[in-house]
Amino acid sequence: MLDQLAPAIARHCDGWWSASAVPRLTLVALDEFVAPADLLYEPMICFVADGAKRTVVGERSWVAGRGEMFLNSVVLPVTAVFERLPYRSAVLRIDGHMLAELLLELDGTNPRALPAPGGQATAPMTAEIVDAVTRWVGLLDAPDDIRPLAPRIESEILYRLLGSPLGPQLRQFALADSGVVRVREAAAWITEHYTEPLTIEKIAAAAHMSTATLHRHFKAATGMSPLRFQKQLRLQEARRRLVGGDTTAVQAAEAVGYASATQFSREYRRAYGLPPVQDAARMRGKLLNARRN
């Protein structure tokens, strides 16, 4: 079935990353190596039909290759490294309401043990999951079928996932009082306020958690502290602005909330290996070469 899924993804992917007419479905198709990409992941599941991608978060990393799936349950600034090409994947953005309704319908009176708080996991795809995802992507070949069938196939995919090794993490994702849900809310709040001066106390208050509980659960789910999470968001956005070429390092630093350009340059170099202007020039050069090839 992977031999059917990979071509279907490539057929409907315009560029290496494409949103689609199917709600919550994004397609990724890459045939040439690119520089490691800074991305902001949403809660999602990535189904890899071909190739392999490494996701780096703080001090952690996960590799998902052909026939595997990767779950991320929180908003997360990551670095994506494509390790094997051609790369093909279908990405499902998780609908928490659909998942919760499905859980209530299936086994609301049959609770299962939850894993320790953790925001990411990988597992092999079963034949049933590959079949359902292939039919989901295949709806793009029959646009009139998308509206009536897409929600049903998406629900089937979630049902199959609940019975897979990713099931415990998905159940935790949907429970209102779980650690992952609280971390997800804290991460979303930081994402909205990352340019502002933040303290761990302020973030904990917004998440309705003690500082110790927030730090423990946040580190378990994201691989970094809340303040490092904020710093990563700032540096990624500054890098995007600099690569775009329409701002200076000082302007980029101010735009993302740095009060000190010196501190910004020091942290930027620590993260990317070069001072801001030099790194931006390097990245623009790589992008131009990739387009020519």
Q: Are residues 25 and 161 in the same domain?
A: yes
The number of domains in the chain is 3
User: Does residue 233 form part of some domain?
Assistant: no
Q: Return the number of other C-beta atoms located less than 10 Å from residue 14's C-beta.
A: 10
Q: Are residues 142 and 187 in the same domain?
A: no
User: Does residue 234 form part of some domain?
Assistant: no
Q: Return the number of other C-beta atoms located less than 10 Å from residue 248's C-beta.
A: 13
CA atoms of 239 and 192, how far apart (whole Å): 18
Q: Are residues 130 and 210 in the same domain?
A: no
247-256 tens-digit pLDDT? 999 999 999 9
Structure tokens at 60: 């952690």
Torsions phi, psi of 90, nearest 5? -110, 135
So what's the pLDDT on residue 221? Answer: 86
What residues are paired with 178 via a beta bridge?
A: none
111-131 tens-digit pLDDT? 454 554 567 899 999 999 999
CA atoms of 157 and 130, how far apart (whole Å): 9
Q: Which H, E and C letters describe the chain, residue by residue?
A: CHHHHHHHHHHHCCCCEEECCCCCEEEEEECCCCCCEEEEECCEEEEEEEEEEEEEECCEEEEEECCEEEEECCCEEEEEEEEEEEEEEEEEECCHHHHHHHHHHHHCCCCCCCCCCCCEEEEECCHHHHHHHHHHHHHHHCHHHHHHHHHHHHHHHHHHHHCCCCHHHHHHHHCCCCHHHHHHHHHHHHHHHCCCCCCHHHHHHHHCCCHHHHHHHHHHHHCCCHHHHHHHHHHHHHHHHHHHCCCCHHHHHHHCCCCCHHHHHHHHHHHHCCCHHHHHHHHHHHHHHHHHC
User: Does residue 281 form part of some domain?
Assistant: yes
User: Does residue 235 form part of some domain?
Assistant: no
* Sites in the chain below the pLDDT cut of 50: 109-111, 113, 116
Q: Are residues 133 and 213 in the same domain?
A: no
Q: Is 246 left (phi over 0), alpha (psi -120 to 50) or beta?
A: alpha
So what's the pLDDT on residue 233? Answer: 97
Q: Are residues 208 and 170 in the same domain?
A: no
So what's the pLDDT on residue 283? Answer: 87
Q: Are residues 255 and 199 in the same domain?
A: no
The whole domain housing 282 covers 240-292
What residues are paired with 36 via a beta bridge?
A: none
Domain boundary among 130, 152, 174: 174
Pick from 126, 39, 18: nearest CA to 82: 39
43-87 tens-digit pLDDT? 999 999 999 999 998 788 999 999 999 999 999 999 999 999 999
Torsions phi, psi of 256, nearest 5? -100, 5
- The domain that holds 191 is classified in CATH as 1.10.10.60
So what's the pLDDT on residue 111? Answer: 45
Q: Are residues 119 and 158 in the same domain?
A: yes
Q: Are residues 102 and 198 in the same domain?
A: no
Q: Are residues 202 and 270 in the same domain?
A: no
Q: Return the number of other C-beta atoms located less than 10 Å from residue 239's C-beta.
A: 20
User: Does residue 73 form part of some domain?
Assistant: yes
